[in-house]
Amino acid sequence: MRRLLILGATGSIGGTCLRAIADGRLSAVPVGLVGHSNVRALEELSTRFNCPYVLNTCSAALEDFIASHEADIALNGIAGAAGLEASLLCLRHGMDLALANKESVVMGGDFLFAEAARLGRRIIPVDSEHSAIYHLIQDHQDVDSLVITASGGPFLGRKDLDSVTPEEAAAHPTWKMGRKISIDSSTLANKGLEVIEAGFLFNMPPQKIEVTIHRQSVVHSMIRLENGAVYAQLSPPDMTLPIVAAVDDRHSRLENVVSPLSFKNLTLTFQDWDRKEFPLLALAYEALERKKGYPIAYNAADEVAVSLFCSHRIKYTDISRLVARTLEAGWDCEAPDYESIMEIDKRARQVAVQCSSCF
Ligand code: NDP
Ligand code: MG
């Protein structure tokens, strides 16, 4: 059985993984749990799963813990930019990475994959769309382009968005997830981050990554082959499957991870998205086209904007305006290592906070 380190153990991804271990759908032994602020929940999990934990209070504490708990693979379910450091530490301490923390890919970009290659470690995506593509691609060499599905969030087609509250924005129609990713799903910033994530993970230019709105969240993504055929992955909207498929990758035959889909009464719809309605998705395409510091600044500005929105300091509609303003500052700087990535992240956060004072 694989020895598994779980980062973000108290979150939605961490919880789904631990439930799958508890009910036998995932064969893995948790050897360490990493959390951040929810000490009580972490202590309870530690007792229940009989494994040690650490609070990520500083880099040294995190590195000591990762180094001393020899795992085969780490599931990174940390929310936000802090996930990048954890991903790098896990790779450097000899672990493969089952990666839910999309910020690691968006910020780390080519550097993260170069590090994994240098260290001989694998990065297996957990994000449902990327998990779908990752597994579809295994069987096909002649992939022309990718089609990523988006639920469209709770406000699709709605015009009066100025008065939207954080609670309304966090109420996702099909997935149950943490607060930041749920709000990002309503603005399609989450899809924007995923377009950038797909660009780096599968080495695809933005023109080869299409987003389609698919309200049912049953088709998790598709690949188009050069011959014109399209292959899709379908399953219920449940993160257990991508988590189990990533952690147990290549080890056992997976059985009954999620209930099989019934086609007796299933309607699947697809529609285009509108650049004016979802400016954050359009901005992400530009950030991927430009690369360099742009993806890092996009993520940082969005984290600042969502946090200001959650504390009622800016309106819902200001989130995209703030990200756009931050990107206008220009991020044509190279990010060849962790220090330069974090420097750009820091500067982008400062610019975003300054810009927000004009709103
Ligand atoms: P949650 O908000 O539910 O959980 C976040 C977790 O990260 C918590 O365990 C939290 O700890 C921990 N955390 C926060 N900050 C830090 C830090 N500085 N250091 C260490 N741990 C920290 O988020 P989700 O589980 O929804 O999402 C996690 C990641 O997975 C995100 O990157 C998201 O985009 C991605 N993802 C999530 C999906 C989902 O279905 N939820 C689907 C696809 C991707 P504590 O509670 O102790 O503060
Ligand atoms: Mg996703």
Atom nearest to 10 CA in ligand 1: 9
Confidence of residue 173 (pLDDT cuts 50, 70, 90): confident
DSSP β-bridge partners for residue 143: 225
pLDDT confidence bin for 250, thresholds 50/70/90? low
Query: Taking 70 as the threshold, does the pLDDT of residue 58 lie above it?
Result: yes
How many angstroms separate the alpha carbon of residue 227 from the centre of ligand 1?
39
**Best residue for ligand 1 mutational test, from 19, 78, 134, 187 (most atoms within 8 Å of Cβ):** 78
- Give me the CATH topology for the region 292-359: Rna Polymerase Sigma Factor; Chain: A (1.10.1740)
Strand order in the sheet with 219-225: 209-213, 143-150, 219-225, 230-234
List the strands of the sheet with 123-125, edge to edge: 53-55, 28-35, 2-7, 73-76, 96-99, 123-125
**Residue 266 CA to ligand 1 centre (angstroms):** 31
pLDDT band for 252, please (50, 70, 90 cuts). Answer: low
- Verdict on whether the full-model pTM lies above 0.75: yes
Q: Is the pLDDT of residue 131 over 80?
A: yes
Residue 231 CA, ligand 1 centroid: distance in Å: 30
Distance, CA of 253 to CA of 220 (rounded, Å): 21
Check pLDDT > 80 for residue 70. yes
* 3-class DSSP assignment, residue 225: strand
Whole-number mean pLDDT of the chain? 96
- Percent of the chain that is helix, strand, coil (3-state, to 5): 45, 15, 40
Task: Indicate the residue type of 90.
Answer: C
**pLDDT confidence bin for 251, thresholds 50/70/90:** low
pLDDT tens figures, 259-316: 989 999 999 999 999 999 999 999 999 999 999 999 999 999 999 999 999 999 999 9
First to last CA, the chain: 53
Please give the Cα distance from 288 to 78 (Å, whole number).
23
Nearest in space to 202 (alpha carbons), one of 117, 140, 133, 149: 133
**How high is the pLDDT of residue 1?**
87
Q: How many helices (H) and strands (E) does the chain have?
A: 14, 10
Q: Is 56 in the pocket of ligand 1 (CB under 6 A)?
A: yes
Separation in Å, CA 285 to CA 145, 168, 290: 15, 26, 9
305-317 burial: b if 16+ Cβ within 10 Å, else e: bbbbbbeeebebb
Q: For position 15, what pLDDT does the model report? A: 98
pLDDT in tens, 11-31: 999 999 999 999 999 999 999
With cut-offs at 50, 70 and 90, classify the pLDDT of residue 359: confident
The answer to whether the CB of 14 is under 6 A from ligand 1 is yes
Residues with CB under 5 A from ligand 2 (ion): 127-129
Output the CA–CA distances (angstroms, integers) from residue 237 to 6, 113, 171, 241, 279, in the order listed: 22, 28, 15, 9, 26
* Ligand 1 atom at minimal distance to the Cα of residue 13: 25
- Residues carrying CATH 1.10.1740.10, the chain: 292-359
CATH number of 2-125: 3.40.50.720
- The proportion of the chain whose per-residue pLDDT surpasses 90, expressed as a percent, equals 94
Task: Identify the helix (H) or strand (E) that includes residue 82.
Answer: helix 82-92
